[in-house]
Structure 1
Amino acid sequence: MVSNPGRRTALLDAGIEVIAAAGARGLTFRAVDEEAGVPTGTTSNYFANRDALLRELGHYVFVRLTPDADTVAARLAEPPSRELEVALMQDIVARARADRAGYLALFELRLEAARRPELQEAFTARYRANLDEITTAHVEGGFPGGATTALLLYLAMSGLLLEHLTLPGVMDVDDAGLEDLVRALVVAVVPAPEREQLA
């Protein structure tokens, strides 16, 4: 197996683009080679088979979609609040706009795992770890609401992104309308600060 981390990452990025454009069934070594602009046979030198490539893509998509650590640190330096939660969720939508292929690949990989039990266990473990990280960050970060609030927010945002990225005409909102929708979603899910509840 060839070891060139930069080339491997480029192939994984190309795999994400292929899945986003053609679905998991369009993911072939040749398609990844073409997308990456490398000689035919390069991808097969890095991944033992298609399942190995799919498994690595299932992990790598989270790496690709993880926000910049400095940006996150700057956001989380603010006091935890429902308003900060709105900003964080709007950041997710902005990242989805910037990397539509990454988020579409995320959805496609989930669908492929639903069809293939041999991938489902590995993908479930990775997605569960992601949800656990989100829940821990919400609860330990001191945001309003507990673990159930974090789960509801995760589910609501997943649905919103699925609609927006796959069939944007269903919601038929422009960028400003989408930001307003995210705000309304967070307000509906995340409890108001105690001072607002008492008012």
Structure 2
Amino acid sequence: MPPQPNLERRRALADAAIEVLARSGVHGLSHRTVDERAGLPPGTASNYFRSRDALLEAAARRIVELHETEMRAANARSPVPADAGDLVELIALSLYGSATGHRDRYLAIYELSLEATRRPALQETLDRIGRATLDVTVDQHRALGLPTSREQVQTLITLFGGALFTLVTRPPAEVSLEAARTLARAAVTGALSEAGGTG
């Protein structure tokens, strides 16, 4: 069944909010700028998201939704990792794809993360999203047959976020798959070292 019009409109507005955040930062985000970016009549965003906090939360949730959808698709296409080297490559490809194909999306989430330090409600939302993302990622590791513990997966997520920040905030021309591999290798080594790796 195709998405309902209401859901499609909410996603379009959240996507527009992500673009505004990436280009203009949190201070450039308003219902008006989202309507303009989405090409929708004035007042549309405020009809769907009554407050600015609701708009920020919608953008955060949409970023995670898109990321998790793409991770599941990538995992389905990839061979099952046999060892830590395969996991490095899987993470490197995800880092590179995120930093090159979806740079705006991750610039937006870093804007939201900084804003959350000043908005407790947004911080609570990001914390809830973080816990849900951990659950999804653990499930993905299990589906791939990886013996990583929940703690190791959490460490990988943390290190992935830092590595992605490094790539996303570089000039796009300086981002390479080899740089992503170097960061992925350091993340996997760091996360798995205490328990002896994945095999």
Matched, 1:182 2:155: no
- The counterpart of 1:36, out of the listed 35, 38, 46, is 38
Structure 2 vs 1, CA of residues 7 and 72 (structure 1 numbering), >3 Å: closer, same or farther?
same
1:125 maps to a residue whose letter is R
Q: How many residues align?
A: 188
Where do 1:121-140 residues align within 5 Å?
A: 121-138=124-141
Give the equivalent residue in structure 1 for 2:156: 153
For residue 14 of structure 1, report the CA deviation from its aligned partner: 0.4
Structure of greater relative contact order (alpha carbons < 8 Å, 6+ residues apart): 2
Alignment identity in percent? 34
Structure 1 CA distance for aligned equivalents of residues 44 and 84 of structure 2 = 48
Q: 2:61·2:129 contact (CA, 8 Å) conserved in 1? A: yes
Q: 1:90·1:179 contact (CA, 8 Å) conserved in 2? A: yes
Structure 1 CA distance for aligned equivalents of residues 155 and 185 of structure 2 = 14
Where do 1:78-157 residues align within 5 Å?
A: 78-93=80-95, 94-138=97-141, 141-157=144-160
TM norm structure 1 = 0.81
Unpaired segments ≥5 residues, structure 2: none
2:51 maps to a residue whose letter is N
Give the equivalent residue in structure 2 for 1:197: none
TM norm structure 2 = 0.81
- Structure number, greater radius of gyration: 1
Structure 2 vs 1, CA of residues 188 and 137 (structure 1 numbering), >3 Å: closer, same or farther?
same
3-state SS of 2:58 partner: helix
For residue 144 of structure 1, report the CA deviation from its aligned partner: 4.8
Structure 2 vs 1, CA of residues 92 and 79 (structure 1 numbering), >3 Å: closer, same or farther?
closer
